[in-house]
Amino acid sequence: MSAFQPVVDALEALPTTAFLVLDQGHVGLDHGATITPTYLASARKSVLSVLYGPAVAGGTIRLGLDTVYL
Protein backbone atom coordinates (compact mmCIF):
# COMPACT_ATOMS: atom_id res chain seq x y z
CA MET A 1 0.00 0.00 0.00
CA SER A 2 1.30 3.42 -0.98
CA ALA A 3 1.46 6.34 1.42
CA PHE A 4 -0.92 8.06 -1.02
CA GLN A 5 -3.56 5.30 -0.82
CA PRO A 6 -5.85 7.26 1.56
CA VAL A 7 -5.69 10.20 -0.88
CA VAL A 8 -6.47 7.93 -3.84
CA ASP A 9 -9.40 6.42 -1.91
CA ALA A 10 -10.77 9.91 -1.18
CA LEU A 11 -10.34 10.92 -4.83
CA GLU A 12 -12.24 7.84 -5.97
CA ALA A 13 -15.16 8.86 -3.74
CA LEU A 14 -15.31 12.38 -5.27
CA PRO A 15 -16.16 13.57 -8.78
CA THR A 16 -12.47 14.40 -9.36
CA THR A 17 -11.27 14.74 -12.96
CA ALA A 18 -7.56 14.65 -12.16
CA PHE A 19 -5.13 15.11 -9.28
CA LEU A 20 -1.38 15.66 -9.54
CA VAL A 21 1.15 15.95 -6.74
CA LEU A 22 4.54 17.41 -7.64
CA ASP A 23 7.51 17.57 -5.29
CA GLN A 24 10.35 19.71 -6.62
CA GLY A 25 9.40 18.82 -10.18
CA HIS A 26 8.99 15.10 -9.56
CA VAL A 27 5.61 13.40 -9.84
CA GLY A 28 4.55 12.00 -6.48
CA LEU A 29 1.02 11.05 -7.49
CA ASP A 30 -0.67 11.08 -10.88
CA HIS A 31 -4.37 10.21 -10.66
CA GLY A 32 -6.96 10.60 -13.38
CA ALA A 33 -6.69 12.45 -16.69
CA THR A 34 -3.82 14.77 -15.74
CA ILE A 35 -2.84 15.49 -19.37
CA THR A 36 -6.36 16.41 -20.47
CA PRO A 37 -7.15 20.16 -20.32
CA THR A 38 -9.80 21.00 -17.71
CA TYR A 39 -11.95 24.11 -17.41
CA LEU A 40 -10.96 25.76 -14.11
CA ALA A 41 -12.89 29.06 -14.06
CA SER A 42 -14.26 28.50 -10.57
CA ALA A 43 -10.87 27.46 -9.19
CA ARG A 44 -8.78 30.36 -10.48
CA LYS A 45 -9.13 32.47 -7.33
CA SER A 46 -8.13 29.56 -5.13
CA VAL A 47 -5.09 28.80 -7.25
CA LEU A 48 -4.04 32.46 -7.22
CA SER A 49 -4.42 32.65 -3.45
CA VAL A 50 -2.17 29.60 -3.06
CA LEU A 51 0.44 31.29 -5.25
CA TYR A 52 0.15 34.73 -3.63
CA GLY A 53 -0.24 33.58 -0.02
CA PRO A 54 3.43 32.90 0.78
CA ALA A 55 4.52 36.21 -0.80
CA VAL A 56 1.90 38.13 1.19
CA ALA A 57 2.81 36.31 4.40
CA GLY A 58 6.49 37.01 3.81
CA GLY A 59 5.91 40.69 3.13
CA THR A 60 7.06 40.56 -0.49
CA ILE A 61 3.58 41.59 -1.66
CA ARG A 62 1.60 44.12 0.38
CA LEU A 63 -2.15 44.13 -0.15
CA GLY A 64 -2.90 47.29 1.83
CA LEU A 65 -4.00 50.54 0.16
CA ASP A 66 -1.63 52.66 2.25
CA THR A 67 0.94 52.98 -0.58
CA VAL A 68 0.12 54.55 -3.93
CA TYR A 69 2.49 54.25 -6.86
CA LEU A 70 2.21 56.77 -9.69
Is residue 23 a part of any domain in this protein?
yes
Is residue 13 a part of any domain in this protein?
yes
Q: Are strands 26-32 and 18-23 parallel, antiparallel or unpaired?
A: antiparallel
**Would you state the pLDDT for residue 42?**
76
Is residue 10 a part of any domain in this protein?
yes
26 lies in which domain range?
5-57
- Residues contacting residue 34 through CB under 8 Å, at least 6 positions apart: 18, 19, 20
Is residue 70 a part of any domain in this protein?
no
The predicted-structure confidence for 25-55, as pLDDT tens digits, reads as follows: 999 999 999 999 887 777 778 888 888 889 8
Number of domains in the chain: 1
Q: Does the predicted TM-score (pTM) go above 0.75?
A: no
Is residue 67 a part of any domain in this protein?
no
Is residue 24 a part of any domain in this protein?
yes
Span 58-65, mean pLDDT?
Answer: 83
Q: pLDDT at residue 1 above 80?
A: no
Is residue 66 a part of any domain in this protein?
no
Is residue 47 a part of any domain in this protein?
yes
**Would you state the pLDDT for residue 8?**
93
